[in-house]
Structures are given as structure tokens and as C-alpha cells.
Structure 1
Amino acid sequence: MQVMLFEDDAVLKFTPLLHLKPIYELTLGMRTLREKFEVALSSLPLSLHMRAALAPYWRTVLTDYAINTFTQNDVLFLNGRVICDKPFAQKVLSGAFEFGKAYFNGGQLIAFRTNPHELFGDSPPELIDAKMIAERFSSTQVDCRYIAFMWDLVRLHPEEFRREAMQCKDFGKVEGTVHPRAILVDESRIYVGRGAQVRAGAVLDATEGYIYVAPNAKIFPNAVLMNYVMIGESATVKIGAKLYDYVYVGAFSKVGGEVEGSIIERYTNKQHEGFLGHSYISSWCNLGADTNTSDLKNNYSTIRMNVGGKEIDTKMQFLGLIMGEHSKCGINTMFNTGTVVGMSSNIFGAGFPPKTIGSFQWGGADGFVRYDLDKALEVARTVMKRRNVTLTPDYETLFRAAYTKEFC
């Protein structure tokens, strides 16, 4: 049996975050959604379905995976939006998902098992149509967790961080360098990886959580990490930073100021003072000095967010900024609660910008103009080169496709 993670039509609700990657490359807790499948289903080789435009680039990144390729006549399709924990993995490993059946949670397609050649031909469709699957297969309800909207990445982050931290076997190990004047509180709940540095005056307080410092990461003097915090490989926490209550910092990112309850993907800069709360920041973003996000309304009511032109009540009291890849903001930028910024936009100037900012936009509270594609690519190429990453032809093609999708 071949096991394939798939993208369904519900991923369109995540568009600002998914111009350059499939849904299962989003981060939640301590890992991406794909990595959760890898860990929980380690005995099964996984293959991947993704939108056709993504495939050429991602084949160069995920070289061990069969992408958009059927290798068997019996394929179990698993929704890439699923949070693959132990109970869900047991269903897969025990054979609970039967051939010729589809499995739903409410109206969300979770899994189906079939001969893909008979259903799709030689290759999968652009996106799996949940309605078509429901019409073609006998359907059964199944218990599981999944992300349905962008804000679920923030809403479910604490629960998932706790789950993964409690299963991690690395805590209690200090393999890197900890300065004698640094303070580690409850070392049994702290991991410092090989090559990592914790400088003088830094405080890692795991009294009410777990703190994970990956190999080659750097924690500068007087930084404070409290409760649940994960610092990715070769990431940097700047002088005097304050990180607490479910913060994920991706590999090679640089983080300073105050951060609470947020996910910052790899290769992103939030180096300076300013508050980032209950937010999701994609790769290759840059937040200027004293950028602040509001994550709580003055009247304490729940926060609404725009999805496909429609305002939806998130039912969340705390929700800050969701920002797509390669976007940037200038110094002293202020973001309102529940703001969404697309890919490769530049925000600057006084006042609060709109709560919904598309991709390839240039401006702020006084209005926006379209960001020239060639200039955007030039900046992206420069930014990536500074981190010794090459903007490859496949990546450029994907970048250009995102622009075309936005405006054509």
C-alpha cells in the first residue's frame, strides 16, 4: 500500500501562506505537518501530492519523496491538513482505513483508499475534490484533529507544542555550551543541542514548560526564554529578547524584542524591539524595528479575519498577524488584531494599515500600489544570497506563478 499526503480544495482558505509551499509544510507545535506524519508513521514510506506548479521546485527539496506519482494500485490518501498524532497513526497502521471507502470529520475529507489509476488516471488532479470523493465512495466519520483555517495554526499551537514536547526524549541533555553566568531553571526540561551557545546572563526558565535549543543556535546575553519555547537550528535570539508561552523560531531565523504564542518560520528576521503576539510569520520575512502587533481587542471580543473576501469570526480572543513569505514591514509598523498579509508585500508608514493586505503590495495606511515583479524577485534574490541560499530557476518560476495567480 502506498501512503500519499494530499492537498484538497480547502487549502484555498490558506492562500496567503501557500503560494510557495504545500499545506503540509506549515508549522504547528514543534514540527511541520509533514514531519508529524514522518515521526508517527516512521515504518511507512510517504509520498506527496501537491499543486502542479509546486512540484518542480519541491522535488529538489524533498528528494526522498515520490511527488504526484502513483507507484501502486492501492493508495491510502491522507489529508495533509491532518495533525498526525498517535491515535491517528494507530488507525493508519492498524488498517482501519479500508479500500474503497472515504473518511470524513464533519464536512472535512480526511482520508480515502482506492486504486488511483482507475479514479484519476496516470496523475492526480490539481486539488482533491472532497465533494467528488463523497459522491464516489461510501463515507465513514473518523475522529482526528486538523487545521481548517489559517488561524488554527495559532489556535492549536499550544496544545500541539505540549503534546510534542512531552514525547521528546532530548530534554535533560546539554550538549552545547552554557556560560557559567547563564541561568537554566529546571534543566530536566531543557535541551541545548550540540554547537549551541547560551551566553552570559541568559535565562532559560522551564518551570512551567519545556525549552528546546537546537544545534548551533545562539542565545545572546540577557535573553529570557520561558515556558514552552523552541529555537531552531542555527537560529539566533538577540540581546534582551523576551520569548515565552509557546514560541517557535525556525532554523536560521533571528529574533529579538517580545514574542508570545507565535510561530516564526525559517530564515525570517524579527531582530529588534517590538511585540509579536499570537502570530504566524512565514519564511524570508523581515519585521522592522519597533514593529508591534495587536493581538487583543480593547473590548476583549473575539477577532474577525478575512478569508476569500468574507469576514469570519475566529472565536479567538488573542490573534495577531498572519504574514506570507518574503513580506516585509518598515520601522514602527503597527498591525491590528487579525491582520493578514500576503506574499512579497512591503508595508510602511504611520497609522494602522488595512487588516487585509494582498500579495505583491507596496504601501501602508495611505494606500497601496502593485509591487513590480522583477523588483520583488531582485530583493528576494539578494535576501536569500545573504543567507547563502540560491534562488533557483525552479523557485523563480514558482515565484512568478504566484504573481500571475494574484493579478491574472
Structure 2
Amino acid sequence: MNFILYDGVEWKKLFPITLTRPVSEIILGLCTIKERWEKYMKKNVEDVITQPFLSKKYSKEEFSFFDNILLINSSFLPNEELIQILFSLKENETIFFQEKMIAIKKNFFKGKEDILSFPLKKCKKTYSVKEVIHIQSPWDIFINNETVLKKDFMFFTKGKKSFSLLGNNNIICRDKIFLEENIKTNNVVLNAKDGPIYIDKKVVIMEGSIIRGPVAIGKNTTLNIGSKIYGGTTIASFCKIGGEIFNSVIFSYSNKGHDGFLGNSVLGEWCNLGAGTNISNLRNDYRKVTVWNYEKKDFVPTNFQFIGVIMGDHSKSAINSQFNTATIVGVSNSIFGYGFPPRYIPSFSLGGIQSKKRIPFNKVCETAEIMMNRRNVNFSFLDKKILEYLYQLLDI
């Protein structure tokens, strides 16, 4: 069976995080959505069907599957019930959750366009699942992160043996802490009483740092002196982290290396928060927040009190930047200046409330290349073409 992940209507609802990636590349818990599906299915994804401008980086150029295809909407996360039904599907059978299609089994497709336009009325039988996590908005990433972390920890560490932690450290609930190899720590606190802690290979945790689970730390990440990491937080690989972080997800290669608070937030890849940057995650009047909606081009009400910042890839803030509750930041922004910046900052913006300037595209590429080269990562032709496509659009 060839299983394929595709971007449904949720892709647009997950801006700015999905401006530069398919839904399947979103990180929460211990891994990306794609990696989680592969772990549950016990095989590699055959292909990812996404937007044309992202396809050259994330999809196969040739599509040659003619039979036995299982098509899965990337915005749904796998669980045991869902996997069991998936493997029992027959030709033209589907799985739904609350009138939304999760998956369909089809023996023949003419091509990628045929897959996404297949008429559901031809389906022979429909199954439904009682419970599944569905990622439909950027804040769904951190809202569900604690639950996903706990499930991932049990699933990914089952039957594996944790490495020992060297140094003089305070370890609480050791049985709920899993350590990969070559972790460097001394005089830190790991408290898994309220949830598990997973620390990947070659992580450095400097003196005085405190981690209170559930938390996942990706490989080659460094926690600077006195870092305070609260539950519900995932920090992916190759990050540099400091200060106070609560219930947030930080994608790979992003930095928050200094003091300052980050809560109920999502940072994309290659972001950098300058020293003293602080994020408000609660209004002074305790009311539920409004959030910028890319499709309606306006702020819309939500049913949530706690939302910090949602920041797209390659965006940066200067020292002592202050972000208001529920701020949406696009891709490749350089944010600086006095006062609070707007609660919606379009991609490629320069400055703060003082002006509405756009960064020249050559400068966007120069900054990306310099930052990525510092981590020995190539700013590829495909990376440039994705940013170039977005740069030609207005108000994203």
C-alpha cells in the first residue's frame, strides 16, 4: 500500500507557519506530522502533495502510482483507532471525523490533480473515528502539544533504554525522563512529575537550567545558563535557548538565546528573538483574543485567552522588542523600534510602528544565507524560489 499525505483546506488556515512548508512538516510533540505518520504506519510516506510552489522541495517530481493508494489529510494526527481502520480500508472507502475526510483508499489515480479532485460521492463505504487531533489553526499546535508530547513519549520510547545523565543534577521522576546519548549537563533540574521529558542527542543544558515536563528538546540544541522551560513545550533541533518558555513550539534552527518570556507561541525555522524580547500571552482585561485571519484579511474572534506570538520562518526581533497578545508575524521580517509593533505584521516588513517599509528581496536572501551558513546549512535555490514566490504576493 502506497500512502500519501496531502494538504487540505487547512493549509491556508495555518498561515504563517505553512507559508513555507506543507502541513506535514509542522512540528509538535517529538517530531513532525510526517514523521509521526511514518512511525505509526511503519513505513515511509511515498509522497507529499502540497502547493505547486512548495512541491519541488517537498514532493516527488514524478507521480507514478497506479494502484493501492491510501490518501491521508496531513492535518490529522494518527492514533491507534485510526491506524486500525486505515489498514482495513478497501477500494473507494473513506474515514471521516465530524464531516471532514481524513483518508480515502483508491486503487487508481490518473495523477496528483485527480487525487485532490476525486468526487466523494463515488465512495462505497464511510467509516468514522470518535477521537482524533485535528490541526486547523496555528494555535492548535501549542494547544495540543502537551497531549501529543505525552502520547509520543510513550510510543517513541517503548522498548528503548535511556542513557544516563552525568554531572551533579536534581532529577525528579526519573522513570518519565528519556535521554539520548552525549547529553551535557551539570547542576540542572529535570522535573517530570507533571509529564515526561525527552532530550535528544548532543543537547547541552547549562548550569541553573530548569525543565518541568512535559517537554521535548531536539538534538544539538543548547539551553543557556538559567533557562526555565515549562510544560507543553517542544524545542526542535539546533536551537539556542534562554530565558522563560511556557507551552510553546520552536521549530529547528531558531534562537531565543536570552532572557525574556515566550508563552503559548509558535516560532518557525530560522527565527531569532533579540535579548530582552518579551511576548504577552494574556490581555490585561483577561478577555478572549482576536487574531488576524489571512483569508478574511481582518481580525476575528477566538474562544481563547492565551495566545502569544505566531511567527513565520526567517523573522527576527531586535533587543527589547515587546509583542502584544495574539500577534501574527509573517515570513522574513526584521522587527525593531519603540512601542508595540502591530498585532499583524505582513511578511518581509522592516521596522515596527514607525513605518511600513518592505525589505528588498536581495537583502532577504542575503540575511537568510548568512544565518544558514553559520549553521553549515545551504540556502538552496529551492529555498530562494519559495521566498521569491511569497515576495510577489501582497499582504501575507
Q: TM-score range by the shorter chain?
A: over 0.9
Residue in 1 that maps onto 2:98: 106
Deviation track 1:42-99 (CA, whole Å, cap 9, x = no partner) reads: 057543212222222235xxxxxx5662413232210010111222111112x1x342
Question: Which of the residues 84, 89, 112 maps onto 1:123?
Answer: 112
1:346-361 alignment to 2 at 5 Å? 346-361=334-349
Residue in 2 that maps onto 1:321: 309
Residue in 2 that maps onto 1:390: 378
Q: CA deviation at 1:136?
A: 5.3
Could you tell me whether the CA contact under 8 Å between 1:172 and 1:187 is conserved in 2?
Answer: no
Residue in 2 that maps onto 1:307: 293
Q: CA deviation at 1:103?
A: 3.7
Q: CA deviation at 1:227?
A: 1.9
Asked if 1:54 is matched to 2:54, the reply is: yes
Q: CA deviation at 1:124?
A: 2.9
CA RMSD in angstroms comes to 2.3
Amino acid at match of 2:74: G
Q: CA deviation at 1:345?
A: 0.7
Q: What is the CA–CA distance in structure 2 between the aligned matches of 1:8 and 1:15, rounded to whole Å?
A: 13
Q: CA deviation at 1:256?
A: 0.3
Unpaired runs of at least 5, structure 1: 60-65
Asked if 1:158 is matched to 2:141, the reply is: no
DSSP 3-state at the match of 1:72: coil
TM-score by length of 1: 0.89
TM-score by length of 2: 0.92
Amino acid at match of 1:28: L
Deviation track 1:349-406 (CA, whole Å, cap 9, x = no partner) reads: 1211111111111111223211111101000000000000011112222221221234
Asked if 1:183 is matched to 2:170, the reply is: yes
DSSP 3-state at the match of 1:178: coil
Q: What is the CA–CA distance in structure 2 between the aligned matches of 1:74 and 1:203, rounded to whole Å?
A: 50
Could you tell me whether the CA contact under 8 Å between 1:82 and 1:146 is conserved in 2?
Answer: yes
Runs of 4+ in 1 over 6 A off after TM superposition: none
Tell me which moved more, 70-79 or 329-338: 70-79
Question: Which of the residues 78, 83, 97 maps onto 1:84?
Answer: 78
Give the aligned length: 392
Could you tell me whether the CA contact under 8 Å between 1:77 and 1:113 is conserved in 2?
Answer: yes
Could you tell me whether the CA contact under 8 Å between 1:196 and 1:218 is conserved in 2?
Answer: yes
Asked if 1:379 is matched to 2:371, the reply is: no
Unpaired runs of at least 5, structure 2: none
Q: What is the CA–CA distance in structure 1 between the aligned matches of 2:314 and 2:325, rounded to whole Å?
A: 21
Q: CA deviation at 1:280?
A: 0.5
Residue in 2 that maps onto 1:13: 13
Q: CA deviation at 1:303?
A: 1.8
User: Structure 1 residues 351 and 116, CA, compared in 2 at 3 Å: closer, same or farther?
Assistant: farther
DSSP 3-state at the match of 2:137: coil
DSSP 3-state at the match of 1:111: strand
Residue in 2 that maps onto 1:401: 389
Q: CA deviation at 1:295?
A: 0.7
User: Structure 1 residues 133 and 342, CA, compared in 2 at 3 Å: closer, same or farther?
Assistant: farther
Asked if 1:29 is matched to 2:21, the reply is: no
Q: What fraction of aligned residue pairs are identical, expressed as a percent?
A: 28
